[in-house]
A = this chain, B = another copy of it.
Amino acid sequence: MATLTIILTDGPYISECAEMAVKIAKAALVHHRVNIFLYLDAVHIPKGGQNPVHFVNIGRLFEELASNGATIRACPRCAAARGYQAAEGVCQEYLPGIRITSLYDLAEMLKESDKVIALSR
């Protein structure tokens, strides 16, 4: 069992990145540990209430990933700037399982990782 860290910087729907990340993470979770760090615009991904008409619901996919064991963390500076406040890591506007923690978590994730994938448009 190895560890994969995925770094995202795009929000949902604006690019294919979030969806690709889900496909990669799903495949990786079968045999490996998966970390996902949501950075810059990617902090919008776990927002609740997403209701896309012609696209798959990206938020739900990340919620599922978290419940399937992926560790998903968001950058607090990026999140606060964009209007997501957290108390002890928990943001009321976020879907369950995804926490707003610290940018240092990114460094920790990288240190413990065997492989890294950053996706952005």
Q: When A11-B41, A41-B41, A44-B44 are in contact, do A53 and B80 touch as well, CB less than 8 Å?
A: yes
Size category of the binding interface on chain A: 20 to 34
On whether the beta carbons of A82 and B12 are closer than 8 Å, the reply is yes
CB distance from A7 to the nearest CB of B (A): 15
On whether the beta carbons of B51 and A12 are closer than 8 Å, the reply is no
Q: Which residues of B contact A49 (CB under 8 A)?
A: 83-85
Q: Which residues of B contact A78 (CB under 8 A)?
A: 13
**A81 CA to B14 CA, complexed, in Å:** 10
On whether the beta carbons of A59 and B41 are closer than 8 Å, the reply is no
Q: Which residues of B contact A80 (CB under 8 A)?
A: 50-53
**A83 CA to B81 CA, complexed, in Å:** 17
CB distance from A118 to the nearest CB of B (A): 16
On whether the beta carbons of B48 and A12 are closer than 8 Å, the reply is no
Closest-by-CB residue of B relative to A51 is B80
Binary CB contact string for chain A from 54 to 91 against chain B (1 if under 8 A, 0 otherwise): 01000100000000000000000110111111000000
Which 9 A-B pairs rank lowest in CB-CB distance, beginning with the nearest?
Answer: A52-B81, A49-B83, A47-B83, A50-B83, A51-B80, A14-B41, A13-B81, A11-B41, A14-B40
